[in-house]
């Protein structure tokens, strides 16, 4: 794709946002599908119950490993090419996951989960793509609108799980076949994307800061910390929640409904998060997000009735939205265009590195840190505290720094 004529008033950016919102809604539906059933499916295949959430960990690990090469591909060949590749890996991951279930092979199932992570990494770049053609004033809203597309995925994904989880003799296999269809259908959306390929740098042109120099920028460092903590803690708790709900005596459909409410809460605030950032400042919104995440942990520790799960997971989603959208906005305004591929890839490598550790820890805390699901669920939520202190301290340090610094 080549540069097209300048279109005033962010018209091109708004058209791209519509495409990315649709992609977030349709293609993004596979992520709540995977996160709802992967732990439950893993528990039927894993040789040890402590490994039940390992498929989710492998998906997040795949996302972490793919972040840098995916960013480099988009920097060289454009967003459309990168997003099409991501959808292709989503379909392949779904197919291998279905085959793993068919053969009752846990390791093949893990391979499918790992390849699904390449799609997850691509989906993470939708929010950055929304800023490529947007003005400074439209950028926060562009990010939040694209994230709001997840609202539809939050409805579509769990509903597809309900229809497909027991549709075949082998439990959950129908869901993985549905993931293939979601990727094939959704990939056609990117034909309408109008984001120019980045121009090759002219000989002698500034190459921008190195990765080490970028991370020494206080705004970038704090943005990465807050994004990592927000996403990792959300994943830590969400990964264990289906196991906790079922382990506390409720049904698989109850677990799907709790995840659906959580994902709705993740994306519904995006309709106004950008406006709140423009009005109150990005640091305040990130700080509020961290406080809401702390509130989610507090509610989860109060009990294991179904309403406790609903309230805790809803607060978890809202806190993630404020923290992650705010941190993304901080990052998007802190680096130059020629640094885009380098910075965005490194950011998602670090973010999903933290999410990988959280996901891996989630299964161990949930299944192996106590004698009952209730004790495991308590351990998961207590683990949030030190990381919230870290992110909150970093944010306070940034705000308190002398302005001239």
Tokens of 45: 């295949």
Sign of torsion, CA 155 156 159 165? negative
- Percent of the chain at pLDDT above 90? 43
Please report the pLDDT score of residue 3 as a whole number: 42
Residues 84 and 188: their CA atoms lie apart, in Å, by 8
Please report the pLDDT score of residue 5 as a whole number: 42
Please report the pLDDT score of residue 205 as a whole number: 63
Spatial CB neighbours of 341, under 8 Å, sequence gap ≥ 6: 71, 72, 74, 75, 76, 198
Please report the pLDDT score of residue 7 as a whole number: 44
Backbone angles phi, psi at 364, to 5 degrees: -65, -45
Please report the pLDDT score of residue 203 as a whole number: 59
CA angle 152, 223, 403 (to 5 degrees): 135
Residues 238 and 293: their CA atoms lie apart, in Å, by 12
Given a cut of 50, is residue 142 above it in pLDDT? yes
Residues 26 and 3: their CA atoms lie apart, in Å, by 27
Residues 89 and 69: their CA atoms lie apart, in Å, by 14
Residues 392 and 105: their CA atoms lie apart, in Å, by 43
Segment among 204-213, 238-247, 267-276 with least mean pLDDT = 204-213
Query: Are residues 170 and 103 in contact, defined by beta-carbon separation less than 8 angstroms?
Result: no
Please report the pLDDT score of residue 208 as a whole number: 75
Given a cut of 80, is residue 44 above it in pLDDT? yes
Please report the pLDDT score of residue 153 as a whole number: 85
**pLDDT confidence of 405, banded at 50, 70, 90?**
very low
pLDDT tens by residue, 115-137: 999 999 999 889 888 888 888 78
Please report the pLDDT score of residue 1 as a whole number: 41
Print burial letters for 368-379: b (CB count within 10 Å at least 16), e (below 16): ebeeebeebbbb
Residues 332 and 147: their CA atoms lie apart, in Å, by 15
Query: Are residues 357 and 253 in contact, defined by beta-carbon separation less than 8 angstroms?
Result: no
Backbone angles phi, psi at 200, to 5 degrees: -65, 135
Give me the helix-helix angle, 30-45 and 54-77, nearest 10°: 140
Please report the pLDDT score of residue 202 as a whole number: 61
How does the average pLDDT of the chain come out, rounded? 87
**Which pTM does this prediction carry?**
0.74
Higher pLDDT, 183 or 403: 183
pLDDT tens by residue, 279-327: 899 999 999 999 999 999 999 999 989 999 999 999 999 999 999 989 9
Spatial CB neighbours of 79, under 8 Å, sequence gap ≥ 6: 125, 129, 132, 190, 193, 195
pLDDT tens by residue, 56-112: 889 988 988 998 898 889 888 889 999 999 999 999 999 999 999 999 999 999 999
Burial tier of 363 (Cβ tally within 10 Å: 0-12, 13-18, 19+)? buried
pLDDT tens by residue, 11-26: 888 999 999 999 999 9
- Percent of the chain at pLDDT above 70? 95
Q: At 146, is the secondary structure helix, strand, or coil?
A: helix
Half-sphere exposure of residue 46, counting CA atoms within 13 Å on the CB side? 18
Q: At 52, is the secondary structure helix, strand, or coil?
A: coil
Please report the pLDDT score of residue 227 as a whole number: 94
CA angle 374, 362, 60 (to 5 degrees): 150
Please report the pLDDT score of residue 204 as a whole number: 59
All structural domains of the chain, each given as residue ranges with its CATH number in brackets, are: 11-197+210-400 (1.20.1250.20)
pLDDT tens by residue, 183-237: 999 999 999 998 887 766 665 566 678 878 888 889 999 999 999 999 999 989 9
CA angle 256, 302, 253 (to 5 degrees): 10
Residues 337 and 56: their CA atoms lie apart, in Å, by 33
Please report the pLDDT score of residue 9 as a whole number: 62
**pLDDT confidence of 353, banded at 50, 70, 90?**
confident
């Amino acid at each position: 794709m080549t540069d097209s004529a300048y279109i005033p008033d962010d018209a091109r950016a708004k058209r791209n946002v519509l495409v990315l919102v649709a992609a977030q809604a349709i293609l993004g539906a596979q992520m709540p599908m995977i996160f709802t059933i992967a732990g439950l499916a893993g528990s039927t295949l894993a040789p040890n119950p402590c490994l039940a959430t390992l498929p989710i960990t492998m998906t997040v690990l795949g996302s972490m490993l793919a972040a840098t090469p995916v960013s480099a591909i988009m920097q060289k060949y454009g967003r459309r090419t990168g997003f099409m590749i991501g959808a292709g890996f989503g379909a392949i991951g779904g197919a291998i996951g279905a085959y793993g279930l068919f053969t009752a092979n846990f390791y093949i199932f893990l391979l499918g989960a790992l390849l699904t992570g390449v799609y997850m990494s691509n989906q993470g770049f939708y929010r950055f793509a929304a800023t490529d053609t947007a003005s400074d004033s439209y950028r926060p809203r562009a990010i939040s609108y694209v994230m709001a597309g997840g609202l539809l995925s939050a409805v579509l994904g769990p509903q597809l799980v309900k229809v497909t989880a027991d549709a075949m003799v082998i439990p959950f296999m129908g869901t993985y076949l549905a993931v293939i269809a979601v990727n094939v259908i959704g990939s056609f959306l990117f034909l309408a994307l109008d984001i120019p390929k980045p121009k090759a740098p002219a000989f002698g042109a500034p190459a921008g800061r190195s990765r080490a120099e970028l991370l020494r920028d206080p705004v970038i460092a704090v943005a990465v910390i807050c994004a990592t903590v927000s996403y990792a803690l959300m994943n830590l708790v969400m990964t264990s929640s289906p196991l906790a709900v079922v382990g506390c005596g409720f049904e698989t459909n109850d677990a799907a409904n709790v995840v659906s409410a959580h994902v709705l809460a993740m994306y519904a605030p995006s309709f106004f998060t950008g406006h709140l950032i423009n009005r109150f400042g990005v640091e305040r919104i990130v700080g509020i997000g961290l406080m809401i995440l702390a509130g989610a942990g507090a509610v989860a520790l109060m009990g294991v009735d179904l309403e406790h799960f609903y309230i805790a997971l809803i607060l978890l989603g809202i806190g993630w939205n404020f923290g992650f959208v705010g941190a993304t906005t901080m990052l998007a305004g802190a680096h130059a265009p020629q640094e885009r591929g380098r910075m965005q890839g490194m950011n998602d490598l670090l973010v999903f590195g933290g999410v990988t550790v959280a996901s891996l820890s989630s299964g161990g805390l949930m299944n192996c840190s106590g004698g009952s699901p209730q004790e495991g669920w308590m351990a998961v939520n207590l683990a949030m505290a030190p990381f919230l202190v870290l992110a909150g301290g970093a944010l306070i340090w940034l705000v308190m720094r002398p302005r001239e610094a």
